[in-house]
Every structure is written in C-alpha cells, then in structure tokens.
Amino acid sequence: MHIHILGVCGTFMGGVAALAKAAGHRVTGSDRNVYPPMSTQLESLGIELVEGFEPEQLEPAPDIVLVGNVMTRGQPVVEALLDRGIPYASGPEWLSREVLKDRWVLAVAGTHGKTTTTSLLAWILEQAGLEPGFLIGGVPENFGSTARLGRPAFFVIEADEYDTAFFDKRAKFVHYRPRTAVLNNLEFDHADIYPDVASIERQFHHLVRTVPGAGRLVWNAADPQLRETLAMGCWTPLEGFARAGAEGARWTAAARADDFSRFEVLEAGRPCGTVEWSLMGAHNVDNALAAIAAAHHAGVAVSRAIEALQAFRGIARRMQLRGEVQGIRIYDDFAHHPTAIETTVDGLRRRVGAQRIIAVLEPRSNTMRMGVHRATLAPSLAGADEVWLYAPPDLGWDAGEVVRALGPRGRMAAQIDPLASDLAKSLRPGDNVLIMSNGGFGGLHGKLLAALQRRFERAQAGHAQQQAAGDERGTHR
C-alpha cells in the first residue's frame, strides 16, 4: 500500500511514517520545512520527501493520505485531496486501526513530562524483555529513535491532548484506547485551541472514558485538576503517585540527594529500592514513579523497573548538555510552559549549587506567542542568575513586561546572531547556560558554542603573542 503523509516532518507524523514503513508499506511525505534531523532520519528509512504542499504530489494518487494537524483547509494539496476523493485519515486514526488495535497500549498523557515518562516506561519494558513498540515525541538515548513496531504484545505511546486534524478536533489521545493510562498532570496550555483549563479537563475525561474496567489509571494524586477530572466519572481502578505523598498516592519517593539524582521508591509506604541515575529534578522523580506504576500493571517487578531506570541515559533536548567550552556548559531543554521552566531551573540549581545559571528562553509555542503566560513567566525564572528573553518583532506582545519584572537580571534580544554574540562576551568559566525552547531556536546552541570557541582561541592567541613579545624583550636586555 502507498501511504502519503502530509506534515511528515513533525515528531508525531514522522513517527507514524517510520511505523508505516516498518509495517511494509511504501511511504512518502511532504512538509513545508524539510530539513535535518527529521528529514535525514526519514530518508534513511527510504521515505521519499517533497518540499511544500502543492497538489502535484498526489499524482499518481496514493492508496491513502494521512493528514497531520498542521494542515488546514485552503492549502492546495488539501483542496486537491478533497476534490479528487482520495481516501484520507488522521495519523492517530490510522495508528489506532493499523498498529494499536490488538496491543496492550500504555498511553502517557499530561501537560508536562509526557516524553520523559513515555521513554522511561518503554525502557523499563525493554529491559524486562518485552520488546515494546513505541511512539515518543523525542529521541531517547537508549533507543536512538522516536518510534518502532516492536513485538506484538505491548505498545507505549505519548498521548498528546492537541487536536487530531482539521476534520477531527478531538484530542489525539482519544484514538488510542489504552489498557494502562498515565495522567501525569493537567494545566492550561494550547490556548490556540482550548479556551480554558475546563475544556482540557473535558478532553482528559474523554480519555478516561476509553480505559476499560480491567485496565488501570495511574494518576498524579497531588494534582487538583486531575482530581477534578476524575470526579467527572471514572470506571477503572486507580493507582496514585505523588513524590511527597498525597491522598490516594500508592507510589511515593524519598529523596536521597539534593538534586533528586538518587531517591528511594516506596509502594504503600514500603521501601522497594533506590534509584540512582543521571537525571535531575523533582519532576523527574514524579515521571519515574508514574513509569514504575504503569510497568507494574504490565507485570514488571518494581525491582526490575528500578534497575532499568539506573541504566536510562536521558532524552535529546531534555536537559541535554550540548557542549562545554572552557568550563562554560551549554544545556538544551524543551521547557516552554512556566511550570516546566521553573522545575527545570530548580533541577539545574540543585545540581550546580552556587554556580551561575543563565536562562535563555524562546517563547515559541502558540500559547507563549499569544502572551497567555506572560504574568507567570518572570516568577518561573526566579531561580536563574540572569535571563535572556528572545523577543522577535512578530512576537505579538510586549516582552519588556517580563524583562522589567526580572529587574537587573533581565535581558532581551530581537535577533539570534546578536544574542549569541552578546552571550558569548558575557559568559565566564563555571557558568551554566540553560537554553529553553520547543523549537530549534535558530541554531542558537551551535552558534553560541562556536562564538565561545572563537573567543577563547583569540584569547589564547593574544596570550601567546604577549608571551612571545615578553620573551623577545628578555633576549635584548
């Protein structure tokens, strides 16, 4: 079967493409931004890519077209698709029908931590010998890919609440029909499609309605919005987790290191073992507890899960160290919501102590660009010693409000190259630069590392010249 995918370079649709190819289909795709790393990843799988959304890509007609949620009415290829009557479906609909229907699906939902928790859960099942299939919105270092079919029994999926397609405005996750569902947390986000937090709660309630009575709901018992959501109706046994404990929390933890890189896992108050791993931050303890509980429902012993977590190597763009130049460390993180920003900064602070943290933020998500979080943005960055806010001319709101609220710690830049240059001039050995964006941030990470390298090379050359001049003077005395 020939499957053509519109919007194929998004993380989700790219994962769907990989799964379709692995299932033996001929897969092609198109997108407006066809560039590495997703383009090279897809091409390495033998997936043909087209730049743009012109109707000619539908000639000859594919057997089915999968439509990503980036597509809208009015785009030439969409109008041609409808006019010609070519069969089409959304990515989640096709995935449910062709991949998930006979699997034990473990779905991870929540405003924050989905990618990390999904990755942890997939790795635990892998280490238990279950070889799960998975579709993840990031690249776990242990797997090196965002998706795979795996063996038939289990499939782990990151369950996104964003809408499905232009013709299906339900959340993606209602298509997945999980037997095990994780509800990590729930906050207001995606202001471009949801008017308020109550509308998001309603979508989560729809997910809860799809989990069978013989399944399991693993939920964050410390989250008030999730508690409200479950009060709308729940027909599935619940297992709560909460790092510090809460009513209904079966799974809890006791920190054994300030940065939470070591913690003890407790089930119903009974110590089960200690995790010592490379991750940091209280939020990752919550993610670990959720993954342990979900894996336990799938039959994995807690001791086996703890052993697996200790071998977990992290995820690209989740507090990823991109490079170090002369003691200046550059980190990359996906945080783009005030809660995630605050917990990310806190995790790094607990790791580096009194060393300087320079936070650099691109307000790129639709919700950020709408200015929905501008009142809580400055408080979420309070743990940083210095903050640089990228504010391009088309941002849509006055980023100066946030900078002024930060006082002398606040900085603002309207262009990427000057931002990299100014940062490189101001940094000193021992600094930790935390770059946060849900996009590529215009290649800032690489530009900053290159600027720092040039700066220190010039300094070394200048020092060598001074030393040579001193030696020359010494020979003439």
Task: Give all domains of the chain, ordered by start, each with its CATH number.
Answer: 2-91 (3.40.50.720), 102-309 (3.40.1190.10), 320-459 (3.90.190.20)
CA 272 distance to own-chain centroid = 29
Segment among 28-32, 136-140, 247-251 with least mean pLDDT = 136-140
Q: 3-class DSSP state for residue 437?
A: coil
Predicted local confidence at residue 36, as pLDDT: 65
Residues 71, 77, 83, 89, CA torsion sign: negative
Quick check: 199 and 235 in contact, CB under 8 A? Answer: no
Span 248-257, average pLDDT: 96
Rounded Cα–Cα distance for residues 427 and 415 (Å): 18
- Taking alpha carbons only, the member of 172, 149, 182, 175 closest to residue 96 is 175
The pLDDT mean for the chain works out to: 92
Predicted local confidence at residue 190, as pLDDT: 84
b/e map 108-134, b = 16+ CB within 10 Å: bbbbbbbbbbbbbbbbbbbbbebebbb
Percentage of the residues of the chain whose pLDDT score is greater than 90 = 76
Reading the block at residue 447, the tokens are 């530009």
Write down how long the chain is. 477
Residue 476 has pLDDT above 70, yes or no: no
Q: Cα(first)–Cα(last) distance of the chain, in Å?
A: 85
Residue 373 has pLDDT above 80, yes or no: yes
Which helix H or strand E contains 114, and what residues bound it?
helix 114-127
Residue 94 has pLDDT above 70, yes or no: yes
pLDDT band at 344 (very low <50, low <70, confident <90, very high): very high
Predicted local confidence at residue 59, as pLDDT: 96
The full 3-state SS of 26-76, as one line of letters, equals EEEEEECCCCCCHHHHHHHCCCEEEECCCHHHHCCCCCEEEECCCCCCCCH
Instruction: Write phi, then psi, for 221 (nearest 5 degrees).
Output: -70, -10
Rounded Cα–Cα distance for residues 342 and 332 (Å): 15
pLDDT band at 462 (very low <50, low <70, confident <90, very high): confident
Residue 245 has pLDDT above 60, yes or no: yes
Rounded Cα–Cα distance for residues 49 and 46 (Å): 9
Predicted local confidence at residue 473, as pLDDT: 62
Quick check: 325 and 453 in contact, CB under 8 A? Answer: yes
pLDDT band at 110 (very low <50, low <70, confident <90, very high): very high
